Amino acid sequence: MSSALHPRGLALLNNARLNKGTAFTQEERRLYGLEGLLPTQVESLDRQVERIHRHLDAKDSNLDRYIYLSGLRDQNETLFYRVLMSNPARFVPIVYAPTLAAVCQQFSHIYRRPRGMYISLDMRGRIRDVLENWPARDVRFLCVTTGGRILGLGDIGVNGMGIPIGKLDLYTACGAVPPAVLLPVQLDIGTTNSALRADPLYLGLRREPPPAHELDGFVEEFVQAVQDIFPHVCLHFEDWKGTDAIRYLEKYRNRVLCYNDDIQGTAAVTLAGLISALEIKDEPLAAQRFLFLGAGSSGLGIADMLVSAMRQEGLSEQAAIERITLMDASGLLETSRTDLAPQQARFAKNMPATDSLPDVVDAVRPSVLIGVSTAGGAFTRPVLEAMARITERPILFALSLPETNAECTAEQAYEWSKGRALFAAGLQFPEVTLHGHSFYPGQANNFYIFPALGLAVYATRPKLMTDDVVIESARALAGQVGATARERGRLYPPQDDILDVCVTSAARIAEYIFDRGMATVDRPTDIRAWIEGLTYRPHYETCPPPAPAPEPGQAPGRFYAGFDSGSASGW
Q: Which residues on neighbouring strands pair with residue 237, listed in sequence order?
A: 144, 260
> Which of these, 169, 32, 153, 28, lies nearest to 94 by C-alpha position?
169
Query: Is 305:264 a contact under the CB 8 Å cutoff?
Result: yes
> Which of these, 10, 11, 25, 168, lies nearest to 541 by C-alpha position?
25
Q: Is 20 considered catalytic here?
A: no
Strand-pair category, 432-434 with 437-439: antiparallel
C-alpha angle 317/319/320, rounded to 5°?
A: 65
Residue 439's φ and ψ, nearest 5 degrees, are -125, 140
* Strands annotated E in 195-243: 234-237
What are the percentages of helix, strand and coil residues in the chain, rounded to 5?
50, 10, 40
How many Cα atoms sit within 13 Å of 467 on the Cβ side? Answer: 19
Amino acid at 509: I
In this structure, how many other beta carbons lie within 10 angstroms of the beta carbon of residue 353? 11
> Which of these, 237, 147, 248, 129, lies nearest to 190 by C-alpha position?
147
Catalytic residue among 32, 66, 81, 96: 96
How many whole angstroms separate alpha carbon 269 and alpha carbon 570?
32
Catalytic residue among 66, 167, 241, 458: 167
DSSP per residue over 283-328, as a string? Answer: --GGG--EEEE--SHHHHHHHHHHHHHHHHTT--HHHHHHTEEEEE
* CA 269 to chain centroid: 11
Distances (CA, A) of 289 to 123, 175, 285, 306, 325: 48, 34, 9, 11, 8
Amino acid at 279: E
Length of the chain: 571
Q: What distance, in Å, lies between the first and last C-alpha atoms of the chain? A: 14
Coil, strand, or helix at residue 332?
strand
Torsion angle of the four alpha carbons 362, 366, 371, 372, in this order, in degrees rounded to the nearest 10: -110
> What residues are labeled active site?
96, 167
